[in-house]
Amino acid sequence: MAENNHADTVTSGDSADHNSFVSEFHLAKMDCSSEERLVRMKLDGIQPEVALEFDLLQRSLQVFHQGNIDDITQRLESLNLGARLIETLEVEAADLSTAMASQAETDQKEASILKWLLVINGTMFFIELTVGWIAQSTGLIADSLDMFADAAVYGVALYAVGRAASLKLRAAHFAGWLQMILAVGVLSEVARRFMFGSEPASTLMMGFGLLALVANVACLVLISKSKDDGAHMKASYIFSANDVI
């Protein structure tokens, strides 16, 4: 009964559209970041805008909004995650602003991390490609292309920060296809060298391979704390972890 009263408070009267509210939902089937991303995508683009706070351990979601609770509830229920509205409370406008600001702060943090990753991988791409060509090392050339792929991934992810969740997902898909294309290119180069031969310089290979490892570890440390902040960041983390391995 109390739940219905809360919903009535939000949806009745034109003045509700100008007030701020927080609604708590329980999503029985939301137990990992994949479901969280589904929720973010479903509520992406909703007007007026909302701010989301997740608690995966308790399977709960707090939605800060301006009275569009019916639209929010319908979208969540359509995910079939067992969404149930617990309560809706009116809050100060400052609370909504704080939630929005927190979301913006997260975007800014992601952007800062991705810029550093882009610089590190872009620089290592040029270094390894040059040294790999001089040392006749397919390994260094392959790793330079991998650095280029990662730089492209970080660039796309940087573009996706603060934008639609669906765009972030497409950025992750793009990253996967790019890795596959480069893998085919490197295998072709290995086949060419196998047929025609080469004389790689082992000292250069090992020295710059070690430098690449240091760069990859630095990237992994930078992004590890933000790996669960969306599909685009998860993809970036996976690439960094693969590079270290």
pLDDT of residue 200: 63
In percent, the amount of the chain with pLDDT more than 90 equals 4
pLDDT of residue 232: 60
In this structure, are 108 and 86 located in the same domain? no
The alpha carbon of residue 32 and the mean position of all alpha carbons in its chain are separated, in whole angstroms, by 15
Residue 31 lies in a domain: yes
Q: Under a CB-based contact definition with an 8 Å cutoff, are residues 26 and 9 in contact?
A: no
Residue 98 lies in a domain: no
pLDDT of residue 55: 82
What is the average per-residue pLDDT within 218-223?
85
Residue 239 lies in a domain: yes
Which domain-ending residue is among 91, 124, 150? 91
In this structure, are 117 and 75 located in the same domain? no
CATH number at residue 80: 3.30.70.100
> Which domain covers residue 18, as residue numbers?
2-91
Contacts of 245 (CB under 8 A, 6+ apart): none
Residue 67 lies in a domain: yes
DSSP state of 31: -
In this structure, are 62 and 113 located in the same domain? no
Q: Residue 16: which pLDDT band, with cuts at 50, 70 and 90?
A: very low
What is the average per-residue pLDDT within 197-217?
78
Asked if residue 6 has pLDDT above 70, the reply is: no
The structure's pTM equals 0.51
In this structure, are 167 and 120 located in the same domain? yes
Please count the structural domains in the chain: 2
HEC states along 49-101?
CCEEEEECCCCEEEEEECCCHHHHHHHHHCCCCCEEEEEEEEECHHHHHHHHH
pLDDT of residue 34: 65
pLDDT tens digits, residue range 55-95? Answer: 878 888 988 888 888 999 998 998 888 999 999 888 777 66
pLDDT of residue 17: 44
In this structure, are 109 and 223 located in the same domain? yes
In this structure, are 178 and 136 located in the same domain? yes
In this structure, are 87 and 111 located in the same domain? no
In this structure, are 133 and 79 located in the same domain? no
Q: Residue 15: which pLDDT band, with cuts at 50, 70 and 90?
A: very low
Q: Residue type at 49? A: E
The 10 Å Cβ neighbour count of residue 205 is 19
Residue 96 lies in a domain: no
In this structure, are 75 and 112 located in the same domain? no
* Residue 13, H or E segment: none
In this structure, are 184 and 233 located in the same domain? yes
H runs (alpha helix) in the chain: 2-11, 33-43, 69-77, 93-135, 138-160, 165-196, 202-224, 231-244
φ/ψ of residue 91, rounded to 5? -130, 170
In this structure, are 215 and 112 located in the same domain? yes
Which domain-ending residue is among 34, 65, 91? 91
Which domain-ending residue is among 70, 91, 112? 91
Q: Average model confidence (pLDDT) for the chain?
A: 76
pLDDT of residue 86: 92
Q: Residue 169: which pLDDT band, with cuts at 50, 70 and 90?
A: low
- In 3D space, the residue among 228, 240, 241, 239 whose CA is nearest the CA of residue 106 turns out to be 228
pLDDT of residue 49: 80
Beta bridge partners, 85, equal 25
In this structure, are 48 and 148 located in the same domain? no
Q: Under a CB-based contact definition with an 8 Å cutoff, are residues 113 and 223 in contact?
A: yes
pLDDT of residue 198: 64
Asked if residue 171 has pLDDT above 80, the reply is: no
Residue 99 lies in a domain: no
